[in-house]
Chains A and B, each alone.
Chain A
Amino acid sequence: MSTRTFGEPIKRNEDRRLLTGQALFIDDVELPGMLHAAFLRSQVAHARIRKIDVSQALRRPGVVAAYVADDLGDYWKPGPLLVPPPPIAGIVFNQRTQVPLAKGKVRHVGEPLVIVIAESRYIAEDALDDIDIELEQLPAVVDLEQGLKAGSALVHEDLGSNVSAHVRQTKGNYATAAAKADHIIKRRFRYEHGISSPIETRGVVAQWDGRANQMTIWDTTQAPVFIRNGLAGMLGLSERQVRVIAPFVGGGFGPKIMMFYPEEVLLPWVSMKLNRPIKWIEDRLEHFFATTHERGQIHDAEMALTRDGRILGVKDVFLHDGGAYDPYGLTVPINSQCTLLGPYVVPNYDSTFTQVFTNLTLVTPYRGAGRQHGVFVMERLLDFAAHELNIDRAEIRRRNLIPADAFPYKNEIIFQDFQPLEYDSGNYEPVLDMALEAIGYKAFREDQAAARRHGRHLGIGVACYVEGTGIGPYEGAKVQVQSNGKVSIATGIGTQGQGHFTVFAQIAADQLGVAVTDVDVVTGDTDQFYWGAGTFASRGAVVAGNAVNEASKVVRKKALKLASDLFECAEEDLVLEDGKVSIVGIPEKFVSLGDLAGRANPMRGAVQPGTEPGLESTQYFGPPMGATANGVHAMIVEMDPRTFDLKILRYVVVHDCGTVINPMILAGQIHGGVAQGIGNAFYEKLVFDDQGQLLNASLADYLLPTALEVPRVELGHTVTKSPLNPMGIKGAGEAGAIPVGPLFAQAIEDALDLERRGVELLEIPLSPSRLFELTRNAPR
């Protein structure tokens, strides 16, 4: 019998290439005659362009070309709107998308002004210093509230204000609910989220082949099919003339899906113009302001409750920093708005946000994609409610959880996928129980008191969240048996370390009775698979995984049909395992899958009408809406009350993402998410001055957590299948990162006894120096 691999911790197919230095990453692409690009970028956040003179640069030996906005002619256009505003009544959305090279004005530090092409990257960078440029600096819009005041500088003057969008969504009637409430909690929260900072920066290689009329683009994108379609349109080519390859990509986490980055638009155009391949690899300094961020929101939020801690309603008015352009529409603030509701019954909700243009780098989704902000507000409101109503923090959460019999649970507002926010399935209370049990919640107060007697300050936190995952529209997969008996899978999504080469192989291996190592997966090459959307929103395994499953099922059927014709027996009498089809009870009577693939492509003779050659199938899967995963994180910290040095003693995650394909890979996703959450909560902060200059644009100053800061994560799982796909899976990519902020705030408050001392932690990120500022005047 073949062993079932689905649900098993199968080791990864892709590891060998990565462990031996043989995987192809973008900067490994070397082509004969290749030129190199470098960008002159604005060093100020907001300025009028008075003069750009590249003549001196062009005289430098080795420089081939230099282009400014005007050189692009009709090719110069603002980028497309990636996600149009969802169908919400009364929505205001002012579309202002990024441009390939700044024209007239620069709107953020790092916005490209000139692209220089040279024989080497070294020469291209030298030539940037030769460019004569005059910028007339304007006051920068940095502060969200200031930016909305009359008389503020304007990022886009023609708009007359810095409002990018304004959206109100309601459920029930908050005002009525609040009027009847026993208690109202009202606070102002600030949540900053930093940059994804993958260890591999972005890069593009474009190769126009004038003889073949063919454009090939290697791109660190998370969405190669969209890039192919968009660039074909811009370049005046048909889609079939453009091949986009997302090779191995060294981490993405969201910002690598932004479309279109100026560099993605410019390199193919220049390659066509010069008929030579061109490479651009972002350096780390550029990455800090040329790759998109996530940043701040300011929430004025209130919660109405009964005296026994039941939520009657939540009202939230928030500002969202959108950066200089808004190509990603409203995805991030809508995620905040929707995810705030969490796993709780909130009968009345009134949420309004304003997305503000600022003279800072664009904001687009980064792992969690605004969900963190909403979860922070909700979890903190519950913490303060618990304190004021004298209810235990875990208990107030339990009292408000959506009961298991209430699913599917309708939240009545519109989610980022344009569908009404509905939780497909869930069973929340056991997840909370498991987390409390695992962290030792009951015993903790005694441990804490004992530690305090020895001068040690321990604190505990518990935070709950839901995560909308696996959204549509669709993905596809082609599953094909090769004549050597191996199975090939191609899908349109890109891969950035999620283990797609293994989990998709597991799905096909089980259906087709082959070893996982005999399944070869290709992702992110538009010539291998034509259609698709991309890797984002924790959707790869859910959407593409189900497409692989459907295609594999069809191939299995075809194999059995071919074998039943060959053996002249019923399909029920056949068994498909170990790479061959045999007759039940007569194992010596078999045909290999490879031979069947050969038979499916006859060289001579007649075939039945309607026959499709090949032992293969292409299938698509599109879920009706996103599947909602959920979880609880719990943490015990120790904090030095003088230095605010923090040590995480225990970290527990209990999570429900439906059926698990590969628990080893799932655990890795959670570990990595938690590590990024920890960075966000306590170490990573983008520091801007009032003129929009990023003051810590290096990895020496912007602190990514190291092996010393990230603790061992203890994992627990429950399984509530999603009814929205045949495999019952939900996404898991972002779950680790989402609730870490409120967990830190809670645990640190607890460790430093801040409730008693009258200090509330209303912001993320925290840090030792920020805690010093917040507590310096508080009583001991």
Chain B
Amino acid sequence: MDIDDHEITVSVNGVRYQRRVESRVLLSDFLRHDLGLAGTHVGCEHGVCGACTILLDGQPVRSCLMFAVQAEKHEISTVEGVAGKDGEYHPLQQAMHDHHGLQCGYCTPGILMTMTAFLEENRSPSEEEVREALSGNLCRCTGYQNIVDAVMAAAKRMRG
């Protein structure tokens, strides 16, 4: 098979990366294995579980449903960039810790990305709205209740 490589430039968590990448390489694989940003997890590779969710120009997308080459010249945020530079938790990370919103933690990065973006748009969500926003991320451990509580608590804190 002909190898179809492309030179791409992407920005991830504010750092610019230039890499040569095969056209068929998934963005999730590129982030995890080419850039070593393994915090983005892969759960289903068919866009259902939400574990691989990242932000592309601020919008949550499934990195398993995109090719790395499609991210050319885009700004990506991953779980590694959620906390402050000094390691200070984002309010949602803090709330997830406080409310026991994670168990095995495998789905957590995707949930953090989906819900931090949600909180940017809606600082005063109802529980129903939180559940709706969360419903594209599967978690098999927690039963969601503590995640919902964490998002509500984070929203409250972010409202100040």
Task: State the A residues within 8 Å of B (CB).
Answer: 11-12, 14-23, 25, 27-28, 30, 122, 126, 196-201, 248-253, 283-284, 496-499, 664-665, 667-668, 671-676, 698-700, 704, 706-708, 710, 712-713, 736
Contact = CB atoms under 8 A, between A and B. Distances in A.
Contacts of A19: 79, 82-83, 89, 93, 96-97, 102, 105, 108, 112
Contact of B44 (A30, A249, A284): A284
Among A16, A18, A698: residue with most chain B CB under 10 A: A18
Nearest to A9: B100
Given A497-B104, A698-B46, A708 B140 contact: no
B97 A672 contact: no
A668 B146 contact: yes
Contacts of A704: 138, 140
Contact of B106 (A20, A25, A196): A25
Contact of A21 (B38, B44, B97): B38
Closest 4 CB pairs of A and B: A21-B39, A250-B106, A497-B104, A18-B105
Contact of B104 (A496, A664, A667, A707): A496
B146 A671 contact: yes
A668 B142 contact: yes
B25 interface: yes
A251 B142 contact: no
25 contacts: A11-B100, A14-B105, A17-B105, A19-B108, A20-B39, A126-B1, A199-B41, A199-B43, A199-B106, A201-B43, A250-B104, A251-B140, A252-B104, A497-B103, A497-B141, A668-B142, A671-B146, A672-B103, A675-B143, A698-B44, A698-B46, A706-B136, A706-B144, A707-B135, A707-B144
Contacts of B144: 671, 675, 706-707, 710
Contact of A706 (B93, B97, B130, B138): B138
B158 interface: no
Given A11-B100, A12-B97, 5 more contacts: A19-B89, A19-B96, A200-B41, A706-B138, A708-B132
A30 B48 contact: no
Given A20-B39, A21-B40, A251 B141 contact: yes
A25 B106 CA distance: 8
B41 A15 contact: no
A472 B76 CA distance: 49
Contacts of B141: 251, 497, 668, 672
Contacts of A712: 145
B49 A28 contact: no
Contacts, number: 174
B139 interface: yes
Contacts of A27: 32, 38, 42
A11 B104 contact: no
Interface string B89-101: 1000100111010
B131 interface: yes
A668 B141 CA distance: 8
Contacts of A667: 100, 146
A199 B51 contact: yes
Among B136, B145, B146: residue with most chain A CB under 10 A: B145
B57 interface: no
B96 A284 contact: no
Nearest to A248: B105
B46 A700 contact: yes
A251 B104 contact: yes
Contacts of A249: 104
A140 to B, nearest CB: 26
Given A21-B80, A199-B43, A710 B100 contact: no
Interface in B4-51: 22, 24-25, 32-33, 36-46, 48-49, 51
Given A284-B45, A698-B46, A15 B102 contact: yes
A672 B33 CA distance: 31
Contacts of A23: 105
B53 to A, nearest CB: 12
B134 interface: yes
B106 A700 contact: no
A28 B38 contact: yes
Nearest to B97: A15
B108 to A, nearest CB: 6
Contacts of B41: 25, 199-200, 250
A15 B96 contact: yes
A671 B143 contact: yes
Nearest to A711: B145
Given A250-B41, A283-B45, A699-B44, A200 B104 contact: yes
Nearest to A250: B106
A199 B1 CA distance: 33
A283 B48 CA distance: 13
Contacts of A22: 39, 80
B78 interface: yes
Contacts of A18: 102, 105, 108
B52 to A, nearest CB: 10
Contacts of A11: 97-98, 100
Interface in B100-124: 100, 102-109, 112
B23 to A, nearest CB: 11
A18 B109 CA distance: 8
Contact of B83 (A12, A20, A252): A20
Given A20-B93, A27-B32, A250-B104, A199 B146 contact: no
Contacts of A17: 105
Contacts of B108: 18-19
B112 A284 contact: no
Nearest to B36: A30
Contacts of B48: 698-700
B148 interface: yes
Nearest to A252: B104
B102 to A, nearest CB: 6
A707 B145 CA distance: 8
Contacts of A197: 140
B147 interface: yes
A21 B90 CA distance: 13
Contacts of B145: 671, 710, 712-713
A736 B142 CA distance: 11
A20 B107 CA distance: 12
Nearest to A502: B100
A706 B135 contact: yes
Nearest to A60: B1
Contacts of B39: 20-22
A473 B56 CA distance: 50
Nearest to A678: B143
B97 A499 contact: no
B100 A664 contact: yes
Contacts of A708: 131-132, 135
A497 B105 contact: yes
A676 B144 CA distance: 11
Nearest to A668: B100
Contacts of A14: 105
A7 B40 CA distance: 34
B106 A251 contact: yes
Contact of A198 (B80, B104, B146, B147): B104
A243 B37 CA distance: 26
A28 B36 CA distance: 8
Nearest to B39: A21
Contacts of B1: 126
B107 A199 contact: yes
Nearest to A670: B143
A22 B79 CA distance: 9
Contacts of A674: 143
A131 to B, nearest CB: 16
A671 B100 CA distance: 11
Contacts of B132: 707-708
A26 to B, nearest CB: 10
A201 B44 CA distance: 8
Among A199, A665, A671: residue with most chain B CB under 10 A: A199
Contacts of B142: 668, 671-672, 675
Among A28, A122, A250: residue with most chain B CB under 10 A: A250
